[in-house]
Amino acid sequence: MLRGAIGLLDYSDLGGYTNYIESKQTNIRKFGAKKSSGVLKLMYTDINDSFPISLLDDHMYFIIFTDDYSYCGYLYLVHEKLQSLDMFKIYKAKVENQQKKD
């Protein structure tokens, strides 16, 4: 059993994914942090490459973009990390177009 941010968990049946799960847990609180003042002003990005198997349609990585203001997130599957900038451009254009419609 391991003690993590969400209490005691039994990771024994997860095999090689234990390190990945533990790396995603945090117990650091960010007191005084302020929320972004608008959409696309502060973004969080996570590019994952920890999985030893390919994802859907032989994609090896996934990228998550999350907007701090709206907490809206998008997930993109990619074959190579080099595609991350292209995926961000697609994400940014999609969010800006949605803003124009609203």
23 plus 60 within the same structural domain: no
Q: Who's near 81: CB < 8 A, 6+ residues apart?
A: 47, 49, 61
Residue 21 has pLDDT above 50, yes or no: yes
pTM of the model: 0.62
Is residue 33 a part of any domain in this protein? no
Query: Do strands 2-4 and 61-67 pair parallel, antiparallel, or not at all (unpaired)?
Result: unpaired
What's the domain range around 100? 39-102
Residue 43 has pLDDT above 80, yes or no: yes
| pLDDT category of residue 2 using cuts at 50, 70 and 90 | very low
6 plus 45 within the same structural domain: no
23 plus 43 within the same structural domain: no
22 plus 61 within the same structural domain: no
**Both structure tokens of 87:** 């995926």
57 Ramachandran zone, left/alpha/beta (phi>0; psi -120 to 50): left
pLDDT for 7: 56
| Domain count across the chain | 2
pLDDT for 13: 64
43 plus 93 within the same structural domain: yes
